[in-house]
Amino acid sequence: MSVYIVTLLCIILGLLGPISAHDVKGSTYCEFYNETMCGGEFKEDCVEKEMCGPHDPDKRNHCYVLWQYDSVTQKSTTKLKGCFLDSKECYDKQRCVEKNADRKKQHFFCCCDGNMCNRNFSWDPQPTIPPPIVQEYEPVPNTEQQLFTFMMLISIPALLLFLIFIFSVFYYCRRKKLGYFNEIPTMEPGPISQPSPNLGNRPIQLVEIKARGRFGAVWKAKLHSEIVAVKVFPQQDKQSWVTEQEIFKLAHMDHEDILRFIGVEKRGDSVLIEFWLITAYHEKGSLCDYLKANVVSWPEMCRIAESMARGLMHLHEEIPANKADGYKPAVAHRDFKSKNVLLKNDMTACIADFGLALIFHPGKPCGDTHGQVGTRRYMAPEVLEGAINFTRDSFLRIDMYACGLVLWELASRCTAQDGPIGEYRLPFEEEIGLHPSLEDMQECVVAKKERPLILETWRKHPGLLAICDTMEECWDHDAEARLSASCVMERVACLSRTTILNSSTLIRVDNASEPLITKESSM
């Protein structure tokens, strides 16, 4: 039994990986998959590969696969794929192979060394050699044998608990030194831990999950007597949590058309750690979800479009410091879409989800960023081509391309059109379906220069005609020809004011030869 304990300890310490001078040159890419985030309606938002994060010079990045085996159906199901930090088990392994011979357990894990080496994986069990049978020449008397068995039953669990304790202390110290720890990402947000009095956490009660996205789950929650939204990030998405709070904490970000920020918290510890982002809660949910179940009138469309464009304009705007607030740099959203536009009860919009946003500090470069990010369906042609100029204006124009697509979604469900209103469709859904690949989008948007279909029945309404012209100028293939957010906001505001003016006009009196009478002229 002691042999097995020593073996267990060796395996545990081996997983931590010794410090080595060897390193894989350049960036490592791994195939990415998360069953929770890449399934169902979120499939189109899921990236196919990820670049492993920076690490110490004496460490390596590896790729891994976690899959489940059903002993009844004898089928394997992939659960997770991605990057894995420095483990001796993975060193110099070109193939991802699980060698454990025990096929009764549910989950299997393998790792490998090299770019995209986890694209394929397999199970190649190594036969276990049974321990030799030792002949006892002098049998232990029955009473002594019982005592020996009793002592073993007590001592082995105690020894195991001691080893686990030693391992935990070593693991904690190592994690504290590195700033992060080496673990397999979780498929679901971890269990909700009880608030720690030492952390000063708010007394938040999670009520129900309202949405799942690329970076975590959004909960409806209760804080004292207020209903709030809590976005829960798992450990592997900590950077998105950091980015979001950086954006929210910028000066002048307390704006009616930007989601209201309440605070951030860390919950749990070690492998159960979660990162919470607490914001205002809006019952109507995202614009995408609202349009699936509802149509909008012309005044409602103007109200939504104007507030949405005003929020995007505020985000893009560079605001100098004043007596009340400091300087606000320009910010590019980089994942603008109808799912990231929330509707308030008064049918105005506010912009949310800044996990991919980019801040442009004056006189500083964009930083080490990647151009091809966001949701494929909403990617501008230059993003799909990988031909972005890494300047502030280039990134802001990418947001405006996506803004044009969201305006199209609004127009498609507006009752002002002269004809029947069709079922809600995502941009390009009719052309390339619900789950387009990057190649599909490149063929459609870049090669064929296609855009979502604008029906002739929309152009028969003067207001919708102006919206159609606006969306076409937003999604222009030439990025420099696209409208700015301020221009879109001014156009829609003008249309909205015209609507109010027209609604103040009274019906012609009985004598048809008499002129129209307005409220203003009758006063």
Query: Is 153 part of a structural domain of the chain?
Result: no
Residue 235, classed as helix, strand or coil, is: helix
Cα gap 483→460, rounded to integer Å: 23
Is the predicted pLDDT of residue 519 greater than 60, yes or no?
no
What percent of the chain clears pLDDT 90, i.e. is strictly above it? Answer: 47
pLDDT band at 371 (very low <50, low <70, confident <90, very high): low
Q: What is the reported pLDDT for 198?
A: 32
Query: Is 183 part of a structural domain of the chain?
Result: no
Spot the catalytic one: 113, 237, 257, 335: 335
Cα gap 498→467, rounded to integer Å: 14
Is the predicted pLDDT of residue 454 greater than 70, yes or no?
yes
Query: Is 341 part of a structural domain of the chain?
Result: yes
* CB distance 460 to 396 below 8 Å: no
Query: Is 188 part of a structural domain of the chain?
Result: no
Residue 334 and residue 377 in one domain: yes
Residue 291 and residue 266 in one domain: no
Residue 437 and residue 334 in one domain: yes
Residue 332 and residue 396 in one domain: yes
pLDDT band at 3 (very low <50, low <70, confident <90, very high): very low
Q: Residue 174 maps to which CATH number?
A: 2.10.60.10
Q: What is the reported pLDDT for 87?
A: 80
Q: What is the reported pLDDT for 170?
A: 61
Q: What is the reported pLDDT for 353?
A: 94
Residue 349 and residue 489 in one domain: yes
Domain hosting residue 328, numbered range = 287-503
Is the predicted pLDDT of residue 128 greater than 70, yes or no?
no
Cα gap 385→405, rounded to integer Å: 18
- Structural domain ending residue among the three candidates 280, 298, 317: 280
* Mean pLDDT computed over 455-482: 95
Cα gap 318→330, rounded to integer Å: 5
Residue 266 and residue 362 in one domain: no
Residue 374, classed as helix, strand or coil, is: coil
Q: Residue 273 maps to which CATH number?
A: 3.30.200.20
* Mean pLDDT computed over 240-260: 95
Q: What is the reported pLDDT for 370?
A: 60
Query: Is 512 part of a structural domain of the chain?
Result: no
* CB distance 376 to 432 below 8 Å: no
Residue 298 and residue 266 in one domain: no
Residue 345 and residue 441 in one domain: yes
Residue 86 and residue 232 in one domain: no
Q: What is the reported pLDDT for 517?
A: 34
Query: Is 140 part of a structural domain of the chain?
Result: no
Residue 87 and residue 24 in one domain: yes
Q: What is the reported pLDDT for 59?
A: 80
Cα gap 65→204, rounded to integer Å: 35
The winner for highest mean pLDDT among 24-33, 146-155, 485-494 is 485-494
pTM to 2 decimals? 0.61
Residue 388 and residue 474 in one domain: yes
Q: What is the reported pLDDT for 343?
A: 97
Query: Is 208 part of a structural domain of the chain?
Result: yes
Nearest to 279 by CA among 289, 290, 265, 291: 265
Q: What is the reported pLDDT for 157?
A: 76
Q: Which helix (H) or strand (E) holds 174?
A: helix 142-178
Average pLDDT across the chain, whole number: 79
The winner for highest mean pLDDT among 121-130, 256-265, 378-387 is 256-265
Predicted confidence (pLDDT) per residue in 55-110, tens digit: 777 788 888 888 887 777 778 888 888 888 778 788 888 889 888 766 555 678 88
Lowest mean pLDDT, pick from 98-102, 193-197, 466-470: 193-197
Cα gap 313→317, rounded to integer Å: 6
Q: What is the reported pLDDT for 507?
A: 33
Q: How far is CA 133 from the centre of its chain?
A: 56
In the DSSP assignment, the letter for residue 367 is -
Quickly count: other Cβ atoms within 10 Å of residue 138's Cβ.
5
- Structural domain ending residue among the three candidates 280, 299, 326: 280
- Structural domain ending residue among the three candidates 224, 257, 280: 280
What percent of the chain clears pLDDT 70, i.e. is strictly above it? Answer: 74
Q: Residue 350 maps to which CATH number?
A: 1.10.510.10
Residue 465 and residue 355 in one domain: yes
Quickly count: other Cβ atoms within 10 Å of residue 167's Cβ.
16
Query: Is 344 part of a structural domain of the chain?
Result: yes
Is the predicted pLDDT of residue 42 greater than 70, yes or no?
no
Predicted confidence (pLDDT) per residue in 299-326, tens digit: 999 999 999 999 999 999 999 998 888 9
Lowest mean pLDDT, pick from 92-96, 154-158, 334-338, 351-355: 154-158
Residues 6+ apart with CB under 8 A from 115: 28, 29, 30
**Residue 353 bears catalytic tag:** no
Q: Which helix (H) or strand (E) holds 230?
A: strand 226-233
Domain count, the chain: 3
